[in-house]
Copies of this chain bind each other. A is one copy, B any other.
């Protein structure tokens, strides 16, 4: 019997091609069908020369597969995903269409009614480290946003342990590939190079999923400010998270930092892609890999917790985590095909 056949819907965006790259080196599955409207009819390697080793033609529609990834934009993705799941093909959806548990919240942030609130409820939020057993049993996993992944992973241990108050501020810095492959003046080289700016101060769409997940962990309501920034680099997200320590819960001085680090290490003791580090991490240390580095620190002067996380937005923040979820959904070891180290420098 052959390997599990995998399909990628909309292979032509950055998450899609990254899925193709990673699946090619996956030992247990075979990429058998890729779709993409604009490039339909072309060989994958013609459009993406770095994938010349993959012998597939981009098709307008998905062929018969055992498992599918959707890398379509939101709304379009649900339209493709719903019938697939219905007819028994397991799916990891990289869009935002199945991330928010509350259909009203979906409508508020995405501007249209959700097409299938039942499936929305059933879908598992695919932050693998938090939902391992649920993902393993899921028909549909909603792959988290790239910002959301790093931020929730950074704050989950402290929130879960009740060490911080409800006031949380997250300042994120992202490379440009997170904005996708569609051209725009904001991502035109001369505009981004030698520049940094904040955006989406009115509310970024990853905020509601961050709040949803952190409040589930906290068991209470939180007050989260999230400001993303665009940086002159291609890959990488670094999030600096600021919170207020509940007085008396963490020791003073170095002892407090050790406690915090042990709490984090313990929380992620079974997570193959999380590294709790002892110095401020660099996005470069995750480049091209599925790792998320987390550095919890304490600002003793002010009694605040500062947690910095970083990851490659196209791997752990998108395609890598999607495959991590696929592994669980197919009954494979979580890290299969994803063990590559980061490429430095």
Chain A interface residues toward B at CB < 8 A: 14, 17, 21, 24-25, 48-54, 167, 169, 171, 173, 175-177, 181, 183-185, 187-199, 201, 203, 223-225, 227, 229, 231-236, 238, 240, 242, 244, 275, 277, 280-289, 293, 297, 299, 301-302, 304, 306, 308, 310, 339-345
Contacts of A52 in B (CB 8 A): 275
* Complex alpha-carbon distance, A171 and B198, angstroms: 12
Q: Are B50 and A17 in contact (CB under 8 A)?
A: no
Q: Are B281 and A197 in contact (CB under 8 A)?
A: yes
Q: Are A14 and B50 in contact (CB under 8 A)?
A: no
Q: How far is the CB of A147 from chain B (nearest CB, A)?
A: 14
Other-chain residue from B194, B198, B275, B287 in contact with A236 (beta carbon distance below 8 A): B194
Contacts of A344 in B (CB 8 A): 17, 21, 48, 50
Q: Are B283 and A195 in contact (CB under 8 A)?
A: yes
- Determine which residue in A189, A192, A199 has the highest number of CB atoms from chain B within 10 A of its CB, and name it: A189
Other-chain residue from B21, B167, B187, B302 in contact with A188 (beta carbon distance below 8 A): B187
Supposing A231-B232, A340-B340, A344-B17 touch, asked if A203 and B301 sit within 8 A by C-beta, the answer is: yes
Other-chain residue from B176, B188, B286, B288 in contact with A183 (beta carbon distance below 8 A): B188
Q: Are B225 and A299 in contact (CB under 8 A)?
A: yes
Q: Are A49 and B183 in contact (CB under 8 A)?
A: no
Contacts of A310 in B (CB 8 A): 196-197
Q: How far is the CB of A339 from chain B (nearest CB, A)?
A: 7
Q: How far is the CB of A78 from chain B (nearest CB, A)?
A: 26
Other-chain residue from B183, B232, B275, B281 in contact with A193 (beta carbon distance below 8 A): B232
* Complex alpha-carbon distance, A329 and B279, angstroms: 41
Q: Are B280 and A340 in contact (CB under 8 A)?
A: no
Supposing A52-B275, A201-B280 touch, asked if A194 and B287 sit within 8 A by C-beta, the answer is: yes
Contacts of A24 in B (CB 8 A): 341
* Complex alpha-carbon distance, A14 and B304, angstroms: 35
* Complex alpha-carbon distance, A188 and B192, angstroms: 10
